[in-house]
Amino acid sequence: MTTDAVALVDVPAQLLPLLPLPDLDALPDARARGAECVWSGEPLSTATAVDLGERPSPHGTTLFLRGCQPCTLRAVLGAHRAHPGTCEQCTDDPTLCETRRALRALALELRR
């Protein structure tokens, strides 16, 4: 058993659009290519970075976004809090909502 290996957290693709991001129009270059955390500007290494996927920028280029673990956790918790207000399934029966469950599982993973 290895205890020193840092497992990279994988954000499911369907949750990426739910995470609140800073203004992509004014993103510094290092954050736009994933060298720094998209929220805090913290320099990232492969051991600490959480991959947030590729997105088109408002300028027609492709952004490759990554976040540090604490910022990603904050964003996931924010999405988890905001989610029920935007979801029919949660109004109906939150225990059956896959999205809510996935956000929760992701938050627990990021807390480690």
List of residues contacting Zn ion (CB under 5 A)? 37, 39-40, 42, 68, 71, 87, 89-90, 97, 99-100
The number of beta carbons lying within 10 Å of the beta carbon of residue 37 is 24
Provide, rounded to whole angstroms, the least separation between the CB of residue 73 and Zn ion: 10
Name the residue nearer to Zn ion (CB basis): 71 or 106: 71
Nearer of residues 11 and 97 to Zn ion, judged by Cβ: 97
Residue 22 C-beta: closest distance to Zn ion, Å: 10
Provide the CA 82 distance to its chain's centre, in angstroms: 14
Residues 62-74, buried b or exposed e (16+ Cβ, 10 A)? ebbbbbbbebbbb
